[in-house]
Structure 1
Amino acid sequence: MRKQEASMAVNVKGLEDNARKTSIETLNARVSDSIALGLAVKQAHWNMKGPNFIAVHEFLDAVYARVLAHTDVMAERVQILDGRAMGTAEVVKDSTTLKPYPTDVTKVQDHLKELCDRIRDHGEKVRKAIDSTDDSGDADTADLLTGVSRELDKDLWFLESHLE
């Protein structure tokens, strides 16, 4: 019965099995990177010191909230597609493609550079995910990822503005 219910759900969504599988795999990869990015933002938020501290410190709370929201929406889309969202610490450690965040950084400017590198990297991968999910036939997931990309680009712009 479970197998029949799953295939009925897929038919209702109008997605071919390949599109669903591509989207689930792609979304889980971006969920992992999104969780890693959120932790990097918090690492910076907790440990930065120097000029513009309070402005950046407070702004990072908003960035973290958006990253967390992106993570949630992507993981929920995996569930909508009848997949299993993968977001445990162990999965993230083994599957994130973002480089590890340094724990010895303290200066605001150094944290900003580190965060910008990771947001830029994540944004590039999200844009590739837009193309792969759209090409596979899942325009809804591509649209969801387009919204994530737009917000990442805006946060990157704000953070890079502090480096000018």
Structure 2
Amino acid sequence: MLSTSKRWASMKSDGSYYSTRIDLAPEVQVEIIEILNRTLASTIDLWTQVNCAHWNVKGMQFFSLYQLFEQLAEQLNYFATLVGERIVALGGVALGTARTAAQFSEIPDYRLSSREGQGYVLLLAEQMAVYARSVRSSIEIAQGLGEANTADLYTEISRSTDKFLWMLEAHVQT
């Protein structure tokens, strides 16, 4: 396995990374870019899952859930943009294709047997909880690497993710 600095040099030469004047050690840049690309994959995967729920939801709570899922999809699209732009700002390549997302996402497969609203809510709450844990873990990693800007980006995502998780869970709590 290549050391981080050797990996940085080899990736720069194959076009995976670009020079930047951001004052982070190359090793930190590489590690942060890798973490951000994993987050990008998970965000895109979750975004597609939320869109499926948005398009297919049925039942008594159809309209309110349709709107909630639409808002969540819009927020995830915004997160993907923030993460992708941060990757590029740090000198990386944002790997934001559907195939890359499927390969590297930390979100479990989309499995749903019910088309009723509560089934979608429960599924998305589980998926959001996985995403929230991953984002919180990424905050700690970025802080540990001394990369406050990326930690701040993850904190913004975490706050909003927690809010949407609360909104999903409120639909099934009594």
- Give the TM-score normalised by structure 1: 0.91
Q: Residue 47 of structure 1: CA displacement?
A: 1.1
| 1:83 aligned partner | 92
| 1:47 aligned partner | 56
| 1:143 aligned partner | 152
- Which fold has the larger relative contact order, with Cα–Cα distance below 8 Å and residues 6 or more apart in sequence? 1
The structure that is helix-richer by fraction is 1
Residue 109 of structure 1: which of 115, 118, 136 is its match?
118
Residue 32 of structure 1: which of 33, 37, 41 is its match?
41
- Give the TM-score normalised by structure 2: 0.86
1:13 match: secondary structure: coil
The question of 1:155 aligning with 2:164 is answered yes
> Which residues of structure 1 form unaligned runs of 5+?
none
Q: Residue 17 of structure 1: CA displacement?
A: 1.3
Runs of 4+ in 1 over 6 A off after TM superposition: none
The question of 1:13 aligning with 2:22 is answered yes
Looking at structure 2, the residues matched to 97 and 156 of structure 1 have their Cα atoms a distance apart, in angstroms, of 17
Q: Residue 134 of structure 1: CA displacement?
A: 1.4
Q: Deviation digits for residues 104-162 of structure 1, max 9, x if unmatched?
A: 43010010000000101001000000111111121100000100010000000011100
Letter of the structure 2 residue corresponding to residue 117 of structure 1: E
> Which residues of structure 2 form unaligned runs of 5+?
1-11
Letter of the structure 1 residue corresponding to residue 148 of structure 2: A
Looking at structure 1, the residues matched to 35 and 170 of structure 2 have their Cα atoms a distance apart, in angstroms, of 30
Identity among equivalent pairs (%): 29
